[in-house]
Structure 1
C-alpha cells in the first residue's frame, strides 16, 4: 500500500455512516459521525464508477469550489475520501433546508425573518461571486439551515468559475422554476446575473409560500415569466431575439407586483423588481443588493437564532424577540439596533392562521409596513 492509499484509508476510518437521509441520480447522502469525537456530519457518496472516464466532473468541481470557499453562509467541506468506485464528501451537518421551512405552514413568517434569510443568501452568494464562482442551481432546497439558524448555500455540483468572460458555458443549468430567460433562450455566455434571477425567485417564494414562476416545460416557463413580468421589448433587453433558442412566445402585459405582494413596502418591491430585470447586465448584483435601502429600513432582520425552525417542541419565540439584528458588515454597514414590535404588527400576527394556503393569502398577511 502506497502513501496515498494509506492516507485515504486513515481518512475513511475517521468517519462512520449511520443512516441514509437522501438519494439522487448520482449521489446518496448519509448522516454520519466523526469516530473520535461523535460530531455529527453529512457524508455525500458520489457514484463515480459509471461516469465518463470513471469520474464525474460535477464531483471534481464540487470538491474544488468547496475547498476554495470558506464563509459562514457557505456549507463547509470537512474531508474527502474514496471508497471503491465512490467519492465521499464529508460536510458539516445541517438540520433542514429553506424549502422545508417554506412548506411547513405551521410556521408563521415575519417580514424580518424573510429579510434575514435573503440577507444571508446574498452574503454567501456575494462571497462566491467575489471569488469568480457561479452557483448555477440556487433554489430553497439548496439553502440549508444550521441548528443556530445560519443559512448556508450548498450543492455546488453545477458550479463553475467564470474568470474568462469569453468562455462558452452550457445553458442547461439551474432548476427550471429558478432559471432566467436568457438561459431558456439558449444563452451560452453569461455571468453572475443568472444566480441573481434565482435569488429573486426565492425572495418571492418566501413571501408567497409557494413558487413564484412554476413552469411545466421550458416554453411554459417563458410564458409564465412573461405573464408575470411582461414580454420584453428590444429596448428593455437589446439583442435577446438573436439568442440561439429564441422563439416568439406571445405578447403579455406586465402584471403589477403590488397586486400580488400587497403588503410589501416600496423598498421591498423595488429590490424584488431589480432581481427580475431582463437585461442581464442591468440586473442587480449581490453586493449592490446588500446595500439596498430594504436592508436598512425597519423591521431589522431577525437574528438567525430567533428565526422560525422546524421542531417537535412548542416554540418559545416571543413577539418581542423576532425583531433581531443581522450584522451586514460584509459587505455594507451594520443594521440599526432592533426596535420594539409595534402593537399593530402584534394584532396582525394574532390573526394569521397556521393552516392558510395560497400565494395571495400569504402575501397579504405579511405586514411590511413597519
Structure 2
C-alpha cells in the first residue's frame, strides 16, 4: 500500500456511516459521525462508477468549490475519501432545509424571519460571487438549516467559475421553477445574475408559502413567468429575441407585484422586483442586495437562533391557532399536523419593542399581515 492509499484508508476509518437519509440517481446521503469524537456529519457517497459522458465533473466541481469556499453561510466540507468506485464527501451535518420549513404549515413566519433567511442567503451568495463561483442550482432545498438556525448554501454539483465572461456555458442548469428566462431562451453566455433570479423566486416563495413560478415544462415556465411579470419588450430586454432558443410565447400584461404580495413592505417589493428584472445586466447584485434598505428597515432580521425550525414534537396547526380552517394547509405535499400540542414559538416579533402589546391571536401568514412599521 503506497502513501496515497494509506492516507485514504486513514480518512475512511475516521468516519462512520450510520443511517441512510436520502438517495438520488448519482448519490446516497448518510448520517454519520466522526469515530474519535462522535461529532455528527453527513456523508455523501457519489457513485462514480455509474457516471457517463463526463457527468462525474459534478462530483469534482463540488469538491473543488467546497474546498475553496469557507463561509458561515456555505456548507463546510470536512473530508473526502474514496471507497471502491465511490467518492465520499464528508459534510457538516444540518438538521433541515428551507423547503421543509416553508412546507411545514405548523410554523409561523414573521416578516423579520423572512428577512433573516434572505440576509443569510445573500451573504453566502455574495461570498461565492466575490470568489467568481456561480452556484447554478439555488432553490429552497439546497439552502440547509443548522441546529443554531444558520442557513447554509449547499449542493455545488452544478457550480462553476465565471472569471472569463466570454466563456460559453450550458443553459441546462438551475431547477426549472428557479431558472431565469435567459437560460430558458438558451443563452450560453451569462453571469451571476442567474443566481439572483433564483434568489428572487425563493424570496417570493417565502412570502407566499408556495412556489411562485411553477411551470410544468420549459415553455410553460416561460408562460408562467410572463403571466406574472408581463411579456418583455425589446425596450425591457434588448436582444432577447436573438437568443438561440427564442420563440414568441404570447403577450401578457404586467401585473403589479403589490396585487399578489399584498402585505409586503415597499422595500421588500422593491428588492423582489430588482431580482426579477428581465435584463440580466440590470438585476441587482448580491452585494447591492445586502446594502438594500430592506435589510436596515424595521423590523430587523430575526436572530438565527430564534427562527422557526422543524420540531420533533407535534405542534398545533395554524388553523387551530386562529380558529379558521386554511384550505392551503391541507394541500398536496403538506402533512396534516396532530390536533393536539403546543405552538412552540410566541406569536410576536422578537425585534418589536412593544412585542407584548402586539401579541397576535390570529394566523400570522406573511401574505395576510399588516405592514410592519
TM-score (norm 1): 0.90
Once residues 339 and 291 of structure 1 are traced to their aligned partners in structure 2, the CA distance between those partners, rounded to angstroms, is 24
Contact 1:61 1:157 in 2 (8 A): yes
1:327 maps to which residue?
Answer: none
Query: How far does residue 25 in structure 1 lie from its aligned partner after superposition?
Result: 0.7
Contact 1:134 1:195 in 2 (8 A): yes
Aligned with residue 317 of structure 1, among 345, 354, 366: 345
Once residues 258 and 51 of structure 1 are traced to their aligned partners in structure 2, the CA distance between those partners, rounded to angstroms, is 46
Given the superposition, is the C-alpha separation of residues 16 and 55 from structure 1 closer, same or farther in structure 2, using an over 3 Å criterion? farther
1:341 maps to which residue?
Answer: 355
1:126 maps to which residue?
Answer: 126
Alignment size in residue pairs:
345
1:358 maps to which residue?
Answer: none
Once residues 77 and 234 of structure 2 are traced to their aligned partners in structure 1, the CA distance between those partners, rounded to angstroms, is 44
Aligned with residue 363 of structure 2, among 346, 352, 355: 352
1:174 maps onto 2:174 in alignment: yes
TM-score (norm 2): 0.90
Q: Secondary structure at the match of 1:346?
A: coil
Contact 1:111 1:367 in 2 (8 A): no
Query: How far does residue 54 in structure 1 lie from its aligned partner after superposition?
Result: 8.2
For the aligned residue pairs, the C-alpha RMSD in angstroms reads 1.5
Structure 1: any 5+ residue segments left out of the alignment? 325-337, 354-361
Q: CA offsets per residue over residues 289-322 of structure 1, 9 Å max, x none?
A: 01000101100100000000111335553356x4
Contact 1:71 1:127 in 2 (8 A): yes
1:248 maps onto 2:248 in alignment: yes
Contact 2:138 2:199 in 1 (8 A): yes
Structure 2: any 5+ residue segments left out of the alignment? 314-341
1:37 maps to which residue?
Answer: 37
Q: Secondary structure at the match of 1:128?
A: helix
Query: How far does residue 55 in structure 1 lie from its aligned partner after superposition?
Result: 7.2
Contact 2:167 2:189 in 1 (8 A): yes
Contact 1:193 1:281 in 2 (8 A): yes
Given the superposition, is the C-alpha separation of residues 282 and 55 from structure 1 closer, same or farther in structure 2, using an over 3 Å criterion? closer
1:365 maps onto 2:368 in alignment: yes
Contact 2:128 2:134 in 1 (8 A): yes
1:192 maps to which residue?
Answer: 192
Once residues 257 and 302 of structure 1 are traced to their aligned partners in structure 2, the CA distance between those partners, rounded to angstroms, is 25
Contact 1:323 1:340 in 2 (8 A): no
1:235 maps onto 2:262 in alignment: no
Contact 1:30 1:44 in 2 (8 A): yes
